[in-house]
Amino acid sequence: MSGDGTVEDAGDLASTSSEPTPVNQGRRYFLIGATSVGAAVGVVGAAVPFLGSWVPSAKARAAGAPVTVDISKLEPGQMMTPEWRSQPVFVINRTDAQVENLKQDNARLADQDSEVEAQQPAYAANRWRSRRENLGVFVGLCTHLGCSPKLFADAQPEAFDPNWKGGFFCPCHGSRFDLAGRVVSGVPAPTNLPVPAYRFLSENVILIGEDEETS
């Protein structure tokens, strides 16, 4: 009721007593942005465990997850040493002369027909103990006490062997292996260097830890 006794329409009161509230554009953008970021974080958070399931964990690698090795830059006479199952693996690209030397009879070798050697992969049942004549793949641990032998690739007299034909020498206790990982007679190591499971994924890429039978 007005001061003169008339009653004002409720609609008039509503229209005259309040003005439209100004929109706070800054707050609106903040809320939209915060909501979008929250949603994105949620998506990423959900995706991380999914993507992580495709990457082998350190525990899985130590347990024997296969390791891919690119040998495209490995020149003849050179060796690289990737790690598989927390062990060094010798991957050596033998020269033609070294391959020919491996094909010759060598009465100095010890472990040729042992039960241990018979358990090696079928593709190791040749004089170079590998899928390809030139490429040798061996677990790089001496079969005596697990030391890591050193590569002495050249066929030349060495202090540890005046008739050295090239291969691996373990300075810890004097064990010797040729370039096919075959142990020489009369040394502490009882057996050849093991040949791991491996296969070629392409001309220059090998997968250590898996072959056709286990893939």
Determine contact, residues 209/64, Cβ cutoff 8 Å: yes
* 167 and 143 fall within a common domain: yes
Residue 50: pLDDT above 90?
Answer: no
* 45 and 64 fall within a common domain: no
Give the contacts of 138 (CB within 8 A, at least 6 positions apart). Answer: 89, 90, 92, 129, 181, 193, 194, 195, 196
* 94 and 109 fall within a common domain: yes
76-125 per-position pLDDT tens digit: 999 999 999 999 999 999 999 999 999 887 788 986 667 778 889 999 99
Q: Is residue 2 part of a domain?
A: no
Q: Is residue 117 part of a domain?
A: yes
Q: Is residue 213 part of a domain?
A: no
Q: Is residue 32 part of a domain?
A: yes
Q: Whole-angstrom Cα distance, residue 205 to residue 202?
A: 5
Q: Partners of 93 in the beta sheet?
A: 135
* 82 and 182 fall within a common domain: yes
The region of weakest confidence among 30-34, 70-74, 112-116 is 30-34
* 107 and 150 fall within a common domain: yes
The region of weakest confidence among 22-26, 40-44, 121-125 is 40-44
Q: Is residue 214 part of a domain?
A: no
Residue 191: pLDDT above 80?
Answer: yes
CATH code where residue 150 lies? 2.102.10.10
* 32 and 63 fall within a common domain: no
Q: Is residue 3 part of a domain?
A: no
* 86 and 134 fall within a common domain: yes
The region of weakest confidence among 50-54, 71-75, 196-200 is 50-54
* 135 and 195 fall within a common domain: yes
This prediction's pTM:
0.70
pLDDT, position 35: 54
Which domain range does residue 128 map to?
A: 58-208
Backbone φ and ψ for 39, nearest 5 degrees, come out as -65, -40
Mean pLDDT for the stretch of residues 61-90: 92
* 109 and 149 fall within a common domain: yes
pLDDT, position 201: 97
* 188 and 91 fall within a common domain: yes
114-138 per-position pLDDT tens digit: 777 888 999 999 999 999 999 999 9
Instruction: Indicate the helix (H) or strand (E) that contains 117.
Output: helix 115-118
* 39 and 72 fall within a common domain: no
Number of domains in the chain: 2
* 18 and 113 fall within a common domain: no
Residue 15: pLDDT above 90?
Answer: no
Q: Is residue 43 part of a domain?
A: yes
Q: How many residues does the chain have?
A: 215
Q: Is residue 71 part of a domain?
A: yes
